[in-house]
Chain A
């Protein structure tokens, strides 16, 4: 029992529009196939976060959903700050990443206050970034799909984790485009796909940190062959598409 890893999906109903359950599933399946028991807890508005959560996964949703969860999320600010500060793992995509930033400047001038968990600010834009994205990160090449109308401006302490190789990305980085902001073992990004099934090396970076902190023996092995093989195939197909001459992202 003590070896059970607890994964929380926060606001699965409101912020789960881009298959975000898949990020939970990837972490869960990779642990279970190595024999590590997993407990997945779905936490909604007004429900308590389990005190012993190891990983918190948050997903994407429309602006209306951001407004609906915003107060509840802000009420958890201190708890989440402690969680991230303690080096636990949090994984936020899209709308949830925006809410965990310092704030979101909407097109009509309205400001949506963030939790300040990550040191960046979001500006919603008229232009939308849609298509495949490839970014190189210390834990490997990240491949996925981006679909967001926002630009992030990183604060001085922000740690950018990925340099964009193809696609638009979420922010500027040394004259190029960047993707993924990291703080300790927590990540904020706009990579959909969902990101973790498509990027086993990113999943494993998270799981290595979690299991090391918990003192649980874990490693990817034969039981992960299919998962890795299909991810490789999917990644190769996307890279091939992106690099083929006549590929023009999405016909909008």
Chain B
């Protein structure tokens, strides 16, 4: 219906009405406490050229972050590393990774005439919409983190997720960045890409030393279940707790991760590859390390919150997971069995069959099992031989039960939670649900 609209990518007065309408809609939905999809939808309808126009204004281009797991963390890492190099970064809030959410986020930052003041956009994007959004936002860099068995009810077959990521990657104008240690992604057809392909990875010694490797999906399609060998542009060469060394283009970056775990180290190598490709010769490992140091723990990834509102008292460490691989990698990164533990999943994860693929050996006991899926969780833990204290589906009561436990000698409880229950858990501990800790 707006086919007659000019295609020029310069901003201007014709965007005032659509931007204003979108901003008003955004304000209205916020007042209602509702989602952020409608304003984006409205603006896209009123001015289909606005999105490309906004995207075309980033001097360093647009970066897409794709992957079954680690999108939020890696988007955060890339943003902080680029900021440490002096760039102004635009990024979308966690979960706003569908087209309307991305539009809505861009809209919030745009002036009425459709101008946006940032040097670069770093966007986490849902795999299912990546190619479509790439057509509209013309990303310069597309990063694909991993392909894991996840959201089968949505994507049906894991290899389709790989295909979606690689199909979108064809649209990257500058660089395509993929995980060398991912069976499907390692088989990328580099000749089909417009952009230069770079790999990141974890040294084979570190992967071998990890109890369950990197937990990426086996390739059931090509006849080679494993990875194809590639030299990594950035490779994790050492990992001790949160302290890791990533060799980036031959230079060692010594960085501190937001949380323990080899999957976070792999995310860091991915982030460093992206930053180096975006910045070119201006990239330095020193600034990169500064970026990681400034990174406040993203919600649920190694964040520590007082259990009883006493900052000097017992603390809760949130360990967030969304699927079997992320839960497994977090368990593998534990320093021994947690002294006091809670685990929670809500109904937002409808099929929890994958719980039976997780090796819970390191966890001896879970004090409270909670969330709408509490009994299914307890059932899988019981089959895994984990001792269970109480099953209490109500998260509020579960938190009360955890608070009533005798204080841990370690001064710390460990709560394994999915995203939604992490937000609820934080709120119940008195940490309101402000937006994700990203600037």
- Using a CB–CB cutoff of 8 Å, the interface residues on chain A facing chain B are 13-14, 16-22, 25-26, 29, 61-65, 68, 128, 130-132, 145, 147, 149, 192-194, 197-198, 226-227, 230-234, 236-237, 241, 250, 252
Find out whether the CB atom of B383 lies under 8 angstroms from the CB atom of A19: no
Contacts of A194 in B (CB 8 A): 353, 356
B218-226, B264-272, B425-433: which lies at the A interface? B218-226
Q: Check: B17 CB closer than 8 A to any chain A CB.
A: no
Most buried by B among A21, A64, A252: A64
Find out whether the CB atom of A62 lies under 8 angstroms from the CB atom of B220: yes
Find out whether the CB atom of A19 lies under 8 angstroms from the CB atom of B357: yes
In the assembled complex, the Cα of A93 lies from the Cα of B154 at a distance in Å of: 19
Which A-chain residue is minimally distant from B359 (CB atoms)? A21
Find out whether the CB atom of A22 lies under 8 angstroms from the CB atom of B383: yes
Q: Check: B382 CB closer than 8 A to any chain A CB.
A: yes
In the assembled complex, the Cα of A98 lies from the Cα of B357 at a distance in Å of: 22
Determine which of A20, A25, A64, A231 lies in contact with B157 in the assembled complex, contact meaning CB atoms within 8 Å: A64
Determine which of A13, A63, A130, A147 lies in contact with B218 in the assembled complex, contact meaning CB atoms within 8 Å: A13
Q: Check: B354 CB closer than 8 A to any chain A CB.
A: yes
**Smallest CB separation, A122 vs chain B (Å):** 16
**Smallest CB separation, A203 vs chain B (Å):** 11
Contacts of A128 in B (CB 8 A): 156
Find out whether the CB atom of B220 lies under 8 angstroms from the CB atom of A65: yes
Number of B residues contacting the other chain (C-beta, 8 Å)? 36
Find out whether the CB atom of A234 lies under 8 angstroms from the CB atom of B379: yes
Which residues 347-374 of B have a CB within 8 angstroms of A?
347, 350-357, 372-374
Which B-chain residue is minimally distant from A21 (CB atoms)? B356
Find out whether the CB atom of A19 lies under 8 angstroms from the CB atom of B353: yes
Contacts of B374 in A (CB 8 A): 233, 237
Find out whether the CB atom of A26 lies under 8 angstroms from the CB atom of B353: no
**Smallest CB separation, A250 vs chain B (Å):** 5
Q: Check: B319 CB closer than 8 A to any chain A CB.
A: no
Find out whether the CB atom of A21 lies under 8 angstroms from the CB atom of B357: yes
Contacts of B149 in A (CB 8 A): 17
Find out whether the CB atom of A197 lies under 8 angstroms from the CB atom of B159: no
Determine which of B223, B355, B384 lies in contact with A68 in the assembled complex, contact meaning CB atoms within 8 Å: B223
Which B-chain residue is minimally distant from A238 (CB atoms)? B376
In the assembled complex, the Cα of A21 lies from the Cα of B383 at a distance in Å of: 11
Contacts of B354 in A (CB 8 A): 18-19
Find out whether the CB atom of A192 lies under 8 angstroms from the CB atom of B351: yes
**Smallest CB separation, A16 vs chain B (Å):** 8
Contacts of A230 in B (CB 8 A): 375, 378-379, 382, 391
- Using a CB–CB cutoff of 8 Å, the interface residues on chain B facing chain A are 149, 152-154, 156-159, 218, 220-221, 223, 225, 347, 350-357, 372-376, 378-380, 382-384, 388, 391, 393
Contacts of B156 in A (CB 8 A): 62, 128, 149
Contacts of A234 in B (CB 8 A): 375-376, 378-379
Contacts of A252 in B (CB 8 A): 153-154
**Smallest CB separation, A242 vs chain B (Å):** 12
Contacts of B347 in A (CB 8 A): 241
In the assembled complex, the Cα of A111 lies from the Cα of B158 at a distance in Å of: 22
In the assembled complex, the Cα of A231 lies from the Cα of B378 at a distance in Å of: 9
Determine which of A26, A130, A149, A193 lies in contact with B383 in the assembled complex, contact meaning CB atoms within 8 Å: A26
* Contact sample, A vs B, 21 pairs, CB 8 Å cutoff: A16-B357, A17-B158, A18-B351, A19-B352, A19-B356, A22-B353, A22-B380, A25-B384, A62-B158, A64-B220, A145-B353, A197-B380, A198-B376, A227-B382, A227-B383, A230-B382, A230-B391, A233-B375, A233-B379, A234-B378, A241-B347
Find out whether the CB atom of B356 lies under 8 angstroms from the CB atom of A64: no
Contacts of A29 in B (CB 8 A): 383
**Smallest CB separation, B189 vs chain A (Å):** 17
In the assembled complex, the Cα of A132 lies from the Cα of B351 at a distance in Å of: 9
Other A-B contacts than A62-B156, A64-B159, 18 sampled, CB-CB below 8 A, are A13-B218, A18-B353, A19-B355, A19-B357, A21-B356, A22-B355, A29-B383, A62-B157, A64-B220, A68-B220, A68-B223, A145-B350, A194-B353, A197-B379, A226-B388, A234-B375, A234-B378, A250-B153
Contacts of A130 in B (CB 8 A): 153
9 interchain residue pairs of minimum CB distance: A22-B356, A233-B375, A19-B353, A19-B356, A62-B157, A65-B220, A64-B221, A234-B375, A230-B379
Most buried by B among A65, A132, A250: A65
In the assembled complex, the Cα of A26 lies from the Cα of B149 at a distance in Å of: 22
In the assembled complex, the Cα of A122 lies from the Cα of B124 at a distance in Å of: 39
In the assembled complex, the Cα of A121 lies from the Cα of B353 at a distance in Å of: 26
**Smallest CB separation, B68 vs chain A (Å):** 13
Find out whether the CB atom of A231 lies under 8 angstroms from the CB atom of B350: no
In the assembled complex, the Cα of A39 lies from the Cα of B391 at a distance in Å of: 31
Contacts of B157 in A (CB 8 A): 62-64
Contacts of B376 in A (CB 8 A): 193, 198, 234, 237
Contacts of B357 in A (CB 8 A): 16, 19, 21
Which A-chain residue is minimally distant from B154 (CB atoms)? A252
Contacts of A19 in B (CB 8 A): 352-357
Determine which of A17, A145, A198 lies in contact with B379 in the assembled complex, contact meaning CB atoms within 8 Å: A198
Determine which of A63, A147, A226 lies in contact with B152 in the assembled complex, contact meaning CB atoms within 8 Å: A147
In the assembled complex, the Cα of A194 lies from the Cα of B158 at a distance in Å of: 19
Find out whether the CB atom of B383 lies under 8 angstroms from the CB atom of A250: no
**Smallest CB separation, B240 vs chain A (Å):** 32
**Smallest CB separation, A89 vs chain B (Å):** 19
In the assembled complex, the Cα of A26 lies from the Cα of B356 at a distance in Å of: 10
Contacts of A65 in B (CB 8 A): 220
In the assembled complex, the Cα of A241 lies from the Cα of B378 at a distance in Å of: 18
Contacts of B375 in A (CB 8 A): 230-234, 236-237
In the assembled complex, the Cα of A246 lies from the Cα of B157 at a distance in Å of: 29
**Smallest CB separation, B220 vs chain A (Å):** 4
**Smallest CB separation, A7 vs chain B (Å):** 14
**Smallest CB separation, B409 vs chain A (Å):** 27
Would A17 and B221 be within 8 Å (CB), given that A22-B356, A25-B383, A145-B351 are in contact?
no
